[in-house]
């Protein structure tokens, strides 16, 4: 009994070790190896081609465009999320009554699946918004904005925010509520204006959460897939083909499996850098909390 | 003071306006699901003149909707059970042996997993699952359990380190308890608060996930989950979008009910999980 128990802790980790090695580490390594070949994903024949795929990546306009769209989208998403979530959290923090009702209501979109949200808005953009446009005589709104090259970006951004604001709002609100009341009162007695109070008293309490939100949102923006698939499929043309979608398309629609693997490695490096920043800010957050 | 009151009133007005943006699409989804296509074409925004259930009947009747729903339930439930069995157990062993290289390495590997975007492994994993003949529900469940390990172990190790003192189990060992029994009857119950969070985060992720089912189950319709059905159903409603809205309502209602019952825990779990991951 005693001797068996000596290995218990090791046995505790065994299922996780097996699962993780087989379904995570092994594919990880394979992904990198695939990226060094010319494999199409189906044939039994594959050649080692070194870093050729990576060189091709840099010269591929479709990838450059896709990265451009993805960065622009992620950046806009981060900026809009931070500003709007903060404003809504400040408003929520102000009100005296119904606060929990509003909190719950603003949170609700977070529990829905992104694919459903995307498909709902896809339908509303096709049927509801043009009706509103016609009713108010706005020519711009009378079209399906998702098939309009000038507006599709904002259409997707709007839907991402509709759902994506939910959690940042609550994170900001929790941070706002951690600001000691007497500190605010003291500042107010000293004659600090609303803005001054926000900048000097409230802001320091928001910084850690702000870091979190920026990184989480950037990550979700850079890996966008569900909304795009549900709303535009990457169109019109290839305007909204995010890198997440591009990896999928290359690998499973166009049979450039090794090429897609190389692109995935590039995403890994980009997100890896962002995540290292995340872990850093996380450890800082834990010291402060 | 009067200023404060004015601000509070203004905030309330703005928030109410925002609420319209949150709920209008959901309201439109609901009313359109209950209208015939003729009525919607006449006026998209009007309240249905009568509750027309035909759309729902058609969505449920012409598809294996019940099957998809059950697939989602079973996949989520089985994954969650396995996650609660494996993840805290692993994390417990790691956190009690941090001074040994094996456990330390394992821990670092899990943490690194948090950083790696799914796109990186999605291609080789799909190939692997094909080779192993695991393009099916059990295969998908194995993947969910695996990918829940990264964040889960990280959260549990942190929690055990700060809130489960070693003295507790040492007393149990003196009484002759095996390590597993000690874990099961002393440690695991103490982890309940975090386990609730872990269950919520993972249940929502698995229930709502689209990409993994798309990769693993898309080829066999009988195995579809609700998000996958939702996506594939797109081709069926090109000419009758009322059906689409009925299918949206059918997928939203279950989650809405769950949300209404457990809203406090869900909000705390999902926001807490976001901060900690």
Each residue's pLDDT expressed in tens, for chain A with a length of 289 residues:
455 677 889 999 999 999 999 999 999 999 999 999 988 877 878 888 888 889 998 889 999 999 999 999 999 999 999 999 999 999 999 888 888 899 999 999 999 999 999 998 998 998 888 888 888 887 777 888 898 888 999 999 999 999 999 999 999 999 998 888 888 888 888 888 888 888 888 888 888 888 888 888 988 899 899 999 999 988 898 999 999 999 999 988 898 889 999 999 998 888 888 777 766 765 655 444 3
User: Of B119, B242, B271, which to mutate for an interface test with A (greatest number of A Cβ within 10 Å)?
Assistant: B119
Contact A8 B180 (CB under 8 A): yes
pTM of the model: 0.90
Distance of CA B199 to the CA centre of its chain: 9
Percentage of residues of chain B with pLDDT beyond 70: 96
Q: Name every chain B residue with its beta carbon within 8 A of the beta carbon of A207.
A: none
Rounded CA separation B92/B164 (Å): 10
HEC string of A89-103 equals: HHHHHHCCCCHHHHH
ipTM: 0.89
Mean pLDDT of the B14-20 span: 93
Residues 42-71 of B with CB under 8 A from A: 44-45
Q: Name every chain B residue with its beta carbon within 8 A of the beta carbon of A261.
A: 123-124
pLDDT at B26 over 80: yes
Rounded CA separation A149/B188 (Å): 54
Whole-number pLDDT of residue A158:
96
Contact B204 A267 (CB under 8 A): no
Q: Name every chain A residue with its beta carbon within 8 A of the beta carbon of B142.
A: 19, 23
Please state, in angstroms and as integers, the Cα–Cα distance from residue A136 to each residue in A131, A140, B48, following that order: 9, 11, 22
Residue with tokens 């999902």: B270
Q: Could you tell me if B122 lies within 8 Å of chain A, comparing CB atoms? A: yes
Whether residue A169 contacts residue A210, with contact meaning beta carbons closer than 8 Å, is answered with no
User: Is residue A158 exposed (0-12), middle (13-18) or buried (19+ Cβ within 10 Å)?
Assistant: middle
Closest CA to A241 of A67, A19, A5: A67
Lowest-confidence region among A128-132, B86-90, B94-98, B273-277: B273-277
Whole-number pLDDT of residue A108:
93
Q: Name every chain B residue with its beta carbon within 8 A of the beta carbon of A5.
A: 178-179
Contacts of B225 (CB under 8 A, 6+ apart): B68, B71, B72, B75, B209, B213, B217
Contact B103 A110 (CB under 8 A): no
Query: pLDDT of B113-170, one tens digit each?
Result: 887 888 889 999 999 999 999 999 999 999 999 999 999 999 999 999 888 888 888 8
Domains of chain A in sequence order? 29-283 (1.10.3720.10)
């Amino acid at each position: 009994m005693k001797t068996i128990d000596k290995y218990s802790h090791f046995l505790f980790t065994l299922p996780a070790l097996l699962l993780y090695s087989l379904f995570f580490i092994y594919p990880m390594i394979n992904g990198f190896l695939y990226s060094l070949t010319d494999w199409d994903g189906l044939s039994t024949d594959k050649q080692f081609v070194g870093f050729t795929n990576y060189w091709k990546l840099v010269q591929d306009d479709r990838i450059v465009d896709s990265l451009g769209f993805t960065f622009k989208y992620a950046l806009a998403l981060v900026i809009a999320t931070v500003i709007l979530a903060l404003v809504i959290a400040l408003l929520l923090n102000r009100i005296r009554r119904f606060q929990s009702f509003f909190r719950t209501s603003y949170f609700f979109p977070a529990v829905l699946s992104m694919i459903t949200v995307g498909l709902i808005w896809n339908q509303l953009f096709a049927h509801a918004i043009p009706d509103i446009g016609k009713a108010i005589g706005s020519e711009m709104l009378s079209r399906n904005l998702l098939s309009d090259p000038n507006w599709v970006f904002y259409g997707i951004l709007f839907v991402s925010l509709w759902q994506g604001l939910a959690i940042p709002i609550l994170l900001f609100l929790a941070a706002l509520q951690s600001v000691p009341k007497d500190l605010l009162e003291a500042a107010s007695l000293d004659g600090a204006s609303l803005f001054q109070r926000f900048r000097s008293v409230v802001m320091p309490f928001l910084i850690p959460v702000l870091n979190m939100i920026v990184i989480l949102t950037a990550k979700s923006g850079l890996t966008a897939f569900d909304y795009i698939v549900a709303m535009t499929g990457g169109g019109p043309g290839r305007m909204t083909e995010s890198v997440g979608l591009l990896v999928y398309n290359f690998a499973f629609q166009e049979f450039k499996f090794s090429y897609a693997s190389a692109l995935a490695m590039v995403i890994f490096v980009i997100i890896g850098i962002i995540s290292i920043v995340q872990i850093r800010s996380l450890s800082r957050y834990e010291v402060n909390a | 003071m009067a200023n404060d009151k004015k601000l509070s009133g203004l905030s309330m007005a703005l928030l109410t306006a925002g609420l319209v943006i949150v709920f209008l699409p959901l309201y439109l989804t609901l009313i359109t699901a209950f209208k015939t296509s003729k009525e919607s074409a006449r006026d998209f925004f009007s309240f249905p003149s009568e509750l027309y259930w035909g759309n729902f009947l058609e969505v449920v009747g012409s598809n294996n909707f019940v099957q998809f729903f059950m697939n989602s339930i079973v996949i989520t439930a089985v994954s969650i059970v396995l996650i609660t069995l494996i993840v805290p157990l692993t994390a417990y062993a790691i956190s009690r042996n941090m001074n040994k290289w094996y456990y330390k390495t394992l821990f670092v590997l899990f943490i690194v997993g948090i950083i790696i975007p799914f796109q990186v492994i999605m291609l080789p994993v799909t190939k692997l699952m094909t080779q192993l003949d695991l393009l099916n529900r059990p295969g998908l469940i194995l993947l969910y359990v695996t990918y829940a390990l990264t964040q889960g172990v990280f959260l549990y190790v942190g929690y055990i380190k700060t809130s489960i003192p070693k003295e507790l189990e040492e007393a149990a060992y003196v009484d002759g308890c095996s390590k597993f029994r000690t874990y099961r009857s002393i440690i695991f119950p103490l982890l309940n608060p975090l386990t609730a969070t872990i269950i919520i985060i993972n249940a929502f992720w698995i229930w709502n996930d689209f990409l993994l089912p798309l990769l693993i189950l898309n080829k066999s319709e009988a195995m579809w989950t609700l998000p996958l059905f939702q996506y594939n159903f797109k081709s069926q409603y090109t000419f009758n979008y009322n059906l689409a809205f009925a299918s949206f309502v059918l997928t939203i209602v279950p989650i809405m009910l769950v949300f209404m019952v457990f809203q406090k825990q869900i909000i705390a779990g999902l926001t807490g999980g976001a901060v900690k991951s």
